[in-house]
Amino acid sequence: MINIALGFDSNFAPYAATTIKSILLHNKNVTFYLMYDNLKKSDIKKISSIIESHNENYHWIDMSGEFNDLFTGCWKSKTLYFPLKLPSLCKDDRILFLDADTFILGDLSKFYNQPLDGYYLAAVNDYGMLSDLKTNNKLKLADKTVDINEYFQKIRNWNNTDMQRYFNSGMLLMNLDEMRQNKVEDKMLESLKYNSFAFPDQDCINFVCHDHVKIVEPKFNFMVLCRSTWDRLDDEQKEKLLPYKTEKERPLIIHYLLKPWKKPHENIPFSKEYKRVKSATPYKNHLSRQEIFQFRISKRGTYLILFNKTLLKI
Ligand SMILES: [Mn+2]
């Protein structure tokens, strides 16, 4: 038995449906915990029908009263806070939380059932963030804007060694028993009152769980990065990730930081497969704003996309 949680609203329903479909294609005995806010009845119907067609189980969890006044940064959606509530929402011993921009390429059961004794969760180091630390990018906090290094070193007080254990929150294999025993949910919700987090959910979970996380291989949350972030990675890191980037090897879980529905598909790993799986859902005719029309001239490429067809590419 595998418990899987997602959190989303109607804007993300077509992509959450694709994540769910990709799970169902490779896995049996799954129970979904679907946390939602601002979701249309038609989305609930469509996604329920996907899961029912595979004879698996689901629970819809209405989160509309929760997290109303919190900072959501450029994400503009409070759905990012939903995983913090999982220790009380799911009574089972563990759950796999996945962002709705992830895509599953295989059988999750071995990964799901790995030993987690003494850990609150298993997650993947955020190598994209380590790359961004080499820049002077600005980060938006609730009340001000700060330099990325100033934020992590001075405000969060996390040095370089700490950052090697800083994990991405798009994939969290949560040991719910251990979290409940240590009142981790209360600690996370409490920490939101006294801290200004730049990456609200991710930094809050890192803040509370930092010393209790099992860091796992990047193939369990292979983050697809934009080109400049990729270029700044260490050689060792690039070598590890390249087989997934070039589709020579299949990661178990892809996390599309760069969205296949926003960029020309051919530039994004496993995007053909993503497109195929999306077209096997009730959202097969859905197009994002960028798929309907996109025109770009730059050093990195010139293209015109109209109704999901690349008409011009240089
Ligand atoms: Mn994500």
Q: What Cα–Cα distance (Å) separates residue 171 from each residue in 100, 113, 254, 260, 291?
A: 10, 15, 10, 18, 26
What is the whole-number distance in angstroms between the Cα of residue 171 and the centre of ligand 1? 8
What is the whole-number distance in angstroms between the Cα of residue 169 and the centre of ligand 1? 8
Sheet with 253-255, side-by-side order of all strands: 102-104, 253-255, 222-223
Span 252-272, mean pLDDT? 88
Q: What is the pLDDT of residue 195?
A: 85
Domain co-membership, 79 together with 193: yes
Domain co-membership, 33 together with 122: yes
Q: Which helix (H) or strand (E) holds 175?
A: strand 171-175
Domain co-membership, 202 together with 301: no
Domain co-membership, 46 together with 153: yes
Amino acid identity, position 146: V
75 pLDDT higher than 70: no
143 pLDDT higher than 90: no
Domain co-membership, 159 together with 308: no
pLDDT digit string, tens, across residues 164-174: 999 999 999 99
- Backbone torsion region of residue 307, taken as left when φ is above 0, otherwise alpha when ψ lies between -120 and 50, otherwise beta: left
In angstroms, rounded to a whole number, what is the distance separating the alpha carbons of residues 170 and 97? 7
pLDDT digit string, tens, across residues 52-69: 999 999 999 999 988 777
CATH of residue 105? 3.90.550.10
Q: What is the pLDDT of residue 122?
A: 98
Domain co-membership, 275 together with 313: no
Q: What is the pLDDT of residue 57?
A: 98
pTM: 0.94
Q: What is the pLDDT of residue 293?
A: 77
Q: Which domain holds residue 289?
A: 284-314
How many distinct structural domains can be found in the chain?
2
Domain co-membership, 270 together with 298: no
Domain co-membership, 174 together with 277: yes
Query: Ligand 1 (ion): which residues have CB within 5 A?
Result: 99, 101, 170
| Least trusted range by pLDDT, from 1-5, 124-128, 161-165, 247-251 | 161-165
Domain co-membership, 184 together with 288: no
What is the whole-number distance in angstroms between the Cα of residue 256 and the centre of ligand 1? 6
Domain co-membership, 292 together with 184: no
Tell me 29's DSSP state.
Answer: S
Higher pLDDT, 87 or 265: 87
Q: Which helix (H) or strand (E) holds 174?
A: strand 171-175
What is the whole-number distance in angstroms between the Cα of residue 101 and the centre of ligand 1? 5
Q: Where are the alpha helices (DSSP H) in 260-300?
A: 271-278, 289-292
Domain co-membership, 96 together with 47: yes
What is the whole-number distance in angstroms between the Cα of residue 135 and the centre of ligand 1? 21
Domain co-membership, 55 together with 197: yes
In angstroms, rounded to a whole number, what is the distance separating the alpha carbons of residues 169 and 173? 10
